[in-house]
Amino acid sequence: MLGLFQLAAQEKSLQGKITNDIDIDGVHVLNISSRFNTITDENGHFTIKVKPRDTLIFSSIKYMPEKVTVTEAIFEKGVITVQLTELVNELDEVFLEPNLTGNIAADLKKIKTEKPINFDDVGIPGFKGEPEEKIVPMYFAVTPLSVNLEALYKHISGYYKNLKIRRKWEYENNAVAKMINYYTIPFFKTTYEIPENRVYDFLLFCAETSPIESDFKKEHYGSVLLILDEKAKIYKNRLSEENKE
């Protein structure tokens, strides 16, 4: 009991503000150490429960993700300000050669760019960015004829296991962000009585315990609502138990 009391005593609400000039409302603030989360108001203000050495992640479609560690000084002060870096997509400069023929296939070969083309920027489908690292199955890492030492080491060291966990977490968070954008925070608050600062965590709970991601992606919205209704009852009971402690 003493240990639990000391742990609770270390936790408190941190008051924060995004100091950028525009688009400071609706920025997601996630405490990845405790899974508490919230969003900023129209003035960029937010409140979130933290403990010393917790890690906060700030994310928005307008800004680069920002990771901040709650230092002892920040915790004692109880206030934090964060300046986010604007996410800017710019087309690379293109140099056109003279004497174009009008044959697109031939003329494209003459066009030089400083960097590889970002397909989204030019409005056509295609892969962009670094290819995702492939996880080599163990039965391919060790065969009767050869041994892939790098893949074998990554299995033994737990690297591949951690990589799978990180990818699952990123996929779940992307799915949650899309669902929040589609249904909006007030929908979860009014329909399921989920507190505004716990909506993100509620949807992560749904994603980890149901096929809601797959149903939402396939636009099976009836199934999504059935899952939300079922999971909301369980989640609210957990919140009630949490508040009693």
Give the whole-angstrom CA distance, residue 242 versus residue 91. Answer: 50
Q: Are residues 111 and 60 in the same domain?
A: no
How crowded is the C-beta side of 186, counted as CA atoms within 13 Å?
A: 0
Q: Are residues 100 and 58 in the same domain?
A: no
Per-residue pLDDT tens over the stretch 193-240:
998 888 888 888 888 889 998 899 899 989 999 999 999 999 988 888
Give the whole-angstrom CA distance, residue 34 versus residue 56. Answer: 10
Tokens representing 244 are 């009693």
Q: Are residues 27 and 72 in the same domain?
A: yes
Q: Are residues 32 and 73 in the same domain?
A: yes
Question: Among all chains, which residue has been given the structure tokens 């329909």?
Answer: 191
Give the three-class secondary structure for 51. coil
Question: Among all chains, which residue has been given the structure tokens 């009991």?
Answer: 1
Q: Are residues 71 and 96 in the same domain?
A: no
Structural domain contains residue 137: no
Structural domain contains residue 146: no
Structural domain contains residue 230: yes
CB 213 within 8 A of CB 175: yes
Give the whole-angstrom CA distance, residue 80 versus residue 193. Answer: 29
Give the whole-angstrom CA distance, residue 200 versus residue 202. Answer: 5
pLDDT of residue 1: 45
Full residue range of the structural domain in which residue 124 is found = 89-131
Q: Are residues 41 and 104 in the same domain?
A: no
Q: Are residues 120 and 53 in the same domain?
A: no
Q: Are residues 213 and 173 in the same domain?
A: yes
Structural domain contains residue 145: no
- Can you give the CATH number for the domain in which 59 is found? 2.60.40.1120
Which residues are paired to 17 by β-bridges?
A: 45, 81
pLDDT of residue 57: 87
pLDDT of residue 23: 86
Give the whole-angstrom CA distance, residue 87 versus residue 20. Answer: 12
Structural domain contains residue 112: yes
Tokens representing 167 are 């990818």
10-residue averages of pLDDT along the chain (245 residues) = 50 92 87 82 91 88 85 92 78 52 57 53 50 60 60 62 61 79 89 88 86 90 92 88 68
Strands 45-50 and 12-18: antiparallel
Q: Are residues 186 and 236 in the same domain?
A: yes
Give the whole-angstrom CA distance, residue 191 versus residue 232. Answer: 10
Q: Are residues 175 and 110 in the same domain?
A: no
Structural domain contains residue 148: no
pLDDT of residue 99: 61
Give the residue ranges of DSSP H helices in the chain.
2-10, 72-77, 104-108, 119-122, 138-141, 149-157, 159-183, 185-192, 199-209, 212-217, 221-244
Q: How many domains does the chain have?
A: 3
Give the three-class secondary structure for 15. strand
Give the three-class secondary structure for 130. coil
Q: Within 10 Å of residue 184's Cβ, how many Cβ atoms?
A: 12
pLDDT of residue 168: 60
Q: Are residues 21 and 58 in the same domain?
A: yes
Structural domain contains residue 140: no
Cα three-residue angle 101-105-107, rounded to 5 degrees: 40
Q: Are residues 124 and 185 in the same domain?
A: no
pLDDT of residue 65: 83
Structural domain contains residue 106: yes
Task: Check: pTM over 0.85? Answer yes or no.
Answer: no
